[in-house]
Amino acid sequence: LSKPNNFDGDKSYARRFLSSCQAYLSLNERIYNTDKSKIIFVLSFMQEKAAGDWATNRTTVALAPNPTTNTITSFGTWVDFLNDFRNTFITTDDSADARRQLLNIKQTGTADDYNTQFRSLVTRSNITDKNALSEMYQQGLTRGLIQRIYARDKLPDTMEEWYQAASRADNLYRRLQALNATGTTTTPSTPRSTRFKNLFSTTISSSPTPTNSPNRPKKLTPEEREKCMKEGRCLACREVGHNARDCTKYKARTPTTIRQVAPDPVPTTPAPAAAEPAKPTSKAEIIAHIRSLLQNAGDNVAEEALNPPITISPVLVSDSSKPTMRIPVQVKVYGQTVLSNALIDSGAEGKFIDSKFVAKHCIPVRKLVKPIPVHNVDGTPNQNGTITHYTLCPLLFGNKLTLAFLLVTSLGKEDIILGLPWLKQRNPIINWKEGTISIRRTTTATSLAQRTTKTSKPLKDLILANYHNFIHLFEKKAAERFPIERPYDHAIDLKPDFIPRDCKLYSMTPQEEVALDEFLTENLRKGYIRPSKSPMASPFFFVDKKDGTLRPCQDYRALNEGTVKNAYPLPLIGDLMDKLRNAKYFTKLDLRSGYNNIR
């Protein structure tokens, strides 16, 4: 535990400073075992501004000799010192001050930091109204994070669910940003990180764009990018308080000369010299055949999806003779489901959603940093103008939920168009004869996991020869049993007045639902769990592990409140640390399914 930071009298930091001092003193109570030593320790960190004046005055009074007895005056008791400190630096009406801060709190860093600050203020404010707390919590979240939460199938109901939903969505988004920042290596096949980096990147200009443009933010190194994300800074101007997509310092530049791309020429018979020129393409044809850009765009959401680079090719109208198909799709909007049909078009080079469909169902949209010009087949500008907005839209195909980046434009009779990039990434199974399409479930990650399992080494090869006599202790199968009955068991006693209660379920992603089925099947087989009709139930959810897998967790807080606590005294941390101060070798014992070995 590190020592407290210096305190200068800032009342907003006073409570945290005092708690830090008390924690450090509690951990080192063998050293600071008198009231005088504790008081001097705290005063030593009060050297600046108002706190320095207060500490100096108190030290001067305490060290001044008594003229009568010619002895030094005492520093007083530790309790009196704490009361004086609180009366001087901590607000008297602490609950009212916390309520005022709750009304103005804003997320400036990670969701976990925001949750910690919000929880602390809620405890101090004594507010118990769930609806009021939920409203204040949502008002403080960043716009992007609240939109990602609202895109879920079901909105959180309790404050604990709001904390977990915000933390999970924010951690996932920052993990994608970190993956994008590190995706610079080149491999024979395009890796996932490179796809994030190349999102929306296609050539647009016949002349290169100057890298030192005043309206273009300086490119960050991977180390600088990671530091900015940890500190919650804007990736464009490096300031705190907003994201790069909301940055007003770097505006979209005036469009430069864009290279126009014409479609493949169609063989025609020579016409007489006096023949009339071909008629221009009609507006109906243009709207019906809009296809799009973004050759490398996938359904992954990275920083480029929120802030598309300037380098975007113009949208062209493609050939309508290429094969198409319409499939049913469910669009998730603020927890509601909208049924529609998506046009699967291998001739389109992007993904679109109709502007009238967006307006009708109030789907949230965002503005592109660089508008995308739309051209007709003959190279003339499209009368519908440029594409200026996009949306991150959850789409459900059967039971497969994906988050798609869709450009908003006029599509005539179509609601959604999914083109070649979507087909390449999802690689669906299409039956053109029957007009059906199936989304593949086996992803790259699961395929690699299966291969790893097949090529894993035997247990004997993984254990040193010195321990082969104890190889049975390392076998996973040996731990898959219910603990044997012994003369003594670990008792969990409930309070006499405890009332069992039900719980609300946490919403899960399709991946988590599959993991839940596997967890139930495996633990029923082992005998760790069994079907029950108990009136007491605890919620079940997953958290992400470092290796990318899911860790099953159960929220037993409600049950723990009704248990009789074991008051057996545990050793103090300070005593344990003292015993280890001369140790040279440390060992660790990791039991397989440790809690399941307790009966």
Q: What three-state secondary structure class fits 368? A: strand
Weakest-pLDDT range from 120-124, 292-296, 423-427, 554-558? 292-296
Q: Does any domain span residue 303?
A: yes
pLDDT for 18-70, tens place per residue? 888 988 888 888 888 888 889 989 998 988 888 888 888 888 887 777 666 65
**Which amino acid would we find at residue 395?**
L
Closest CA to 357 of 324, 323, 393, 311: 393
Average pLDDT over residues 564-587: 86
- In terms of DSSP H, where are the helices of 28-77? 35-43, 49-63
> 122 vs 12, 20, 115, 135, 572, CA distance in Å?
15, 20, 10, 13, 30
pLDDT for 341-388, tens place per residue? 888 887 776 788 888 898 888 888 888 877 887 765 456 666 666 888
d(CA 454, CA 121): 52
Angle CA 360–155–425, to nearest 5: 70
Q: Does any domain span residue 319?
A: yes
Q: Which helix (H) or strand (E) holds 135?
A: helix 130-140
Same domain assignment for residues 402 and 384: yes
Same domain assignment for residues 392 and 288: yes
Contact 181, 222 (CB under 8 A): yes
What is the structure's pLDDT at 305?
41
Residue with the larger pLDDT of the pair 307 and 247: 247
Q: What three-state secondary structure class fits 532? A: coil
Contact 172, 152 (CB under 8 A): no
pLDDT for 75-106, tens place per residue? 788 888 888 888 888 766 667 778 888 888 89
Weakest-pLDDT range from 289-293, 408-412, 569-573? 289-293
Q: Does any domain span residue 412?
A: yes
What is the structure's pLDDT at 19?
87
d(CA 24, CA 126): 27
Q: Does any domain span residue 188?
A: no
What is the structure's pLDDT at 380?
64
> 275 vs 266, 270, 272, 281, CA distance in Å?
18, 10, 5, 18
Same domain assignment for residues 542 and 394: no
What is the structure's pLDDT at 563?
92
Q: Does any domain span residue 333?
A: yes
Q: Does any domain span residue 217?
A: no
Contact 526, 480 (CB under 8 A): yes
What is the structure's pLDDT at 382?
60
Same domain assignment for residues 289 and 433: yes
Dump the DSSP string for 158-184.
Answer: SHHHHHHHHHHHHHHHHHHHHHHHH--
Q: Is the pLDDT of residue 499 over 60?
A: yes
CATH code: domain of residue 322: 2.40.70.10
pLDDT for 188-210, tens place per residue? 444 444 443 443 333 333 334 44
What is the structure's pLDDT at 412?
81
> 553 vs 517, 541, 544, 550, 557, CA distance in Å?
14, 5, 10, 9, 12
Q: Is the pLDDT of residue 577 over 60?
A: yes
Q: Is the pLDDT of residue 185 over 70?
A: no
Q: Is the pLDDT of residue 497 over 70?
A: yes
Tokens at 541, concatenated: 């959810």
Average pLDDT over residues 499-508: 82
Average pLDDT over residues 326-343: 81
Same domain assignment for residues 571 and 490: yes
Same domain assignment for residues 290 and 145: no
CATH code: domain of residue 519: 3.10.10.10
What is the structure's pLDDT at 278?
44
Average pLDDT, the chain: 74
Q: Does any domain span residue 300?
A: yes
pLDDT for 229-245, tens place per residue? 777 778 778 777 677 76
> 177 vs 141, 173, 306, 442, CA distance in Å?
19, 6, 11, 25
Residue with the larger pLDDT of the pair 71 and 420: 420
d(CA 308, CA 430): 31
Count of residues for the chain? 599
Same domain assignment for residues 303 and 422: yes
pLDDT for 158-171, tens place per residue? 899 999 999 988 88
Q: Is the pLDDT of residue 261 over 70?
A: no
Same domain assignment for residues 411 and 316: yes
Same domain assignment for residues 325 and 422: yes
Average pLDDT over residues 441-465: 62
Q: Is the pLDDT of residue 425 over 70?
A: yes
Same domain assignment for residues 157 and 83: no
What is the structure's pLDDT at 564?
92
d(CA 525, CA 338): 40
d(CA 368, CA 387): 8
Q: Is the pLDDT of residue 275 over 70?
A: no
Domain boundary among 167, 182, 197: 182
Q: What three-state secondary structure class fits 203? A: coil
What is the structure's pLDDT at 163?
92
What is the total count of domains within the chain?
A: 5
Q: Which helix (H) or strand (E) holds 511?
A: helix 510-526
Domain boundary among 89, 108, 138: 89
For residue 548, give the DSSP letter: S
For residue 473, give the DSSP letter: G
Average pLDDT over residues 448-473: 72
Closest CA to 428 of 418, 416, 415: 418
What is the structure's pLDDT at 241?
65
Closest CA to 308 of 267, 252, 358: 252
**By residue range, what is the domain housing residue 393?**
283-441
Same domain assignment for residues 433 and 450: no
Per cent of the chain over pLDDT 70 is 71
Tokens at 524, concatenated: 């029923």
Q: Does any domain span residue 152?
A: yes
What is the structure's pLDDT at 1?
67
Contact 500, 535 (CB under 8 A): yes
Domain boundary among 182, 210, 229: 182
d(CA 291, CA 316): 6
Q: Is the pLDDT of residue 314 over 50?
A: no
> 422 vs 200, 331, 346, 442, CA distance in Å?
14, 16, 9, 16
Dump the DSSP string for 401-463.
Answer: EEEEEEEEE--TT-SEEE-HHHHHHH--EEETTTTEEE-----HHHHHHHHHHHTPPPHHHHS
Same domain assignment for residues 315 and 401: yes
pLDDT for 519-575, tens place per residue? 888 888 888 888 888 888 888 889 988 888 898 998 888 888 889 988 888 889 888
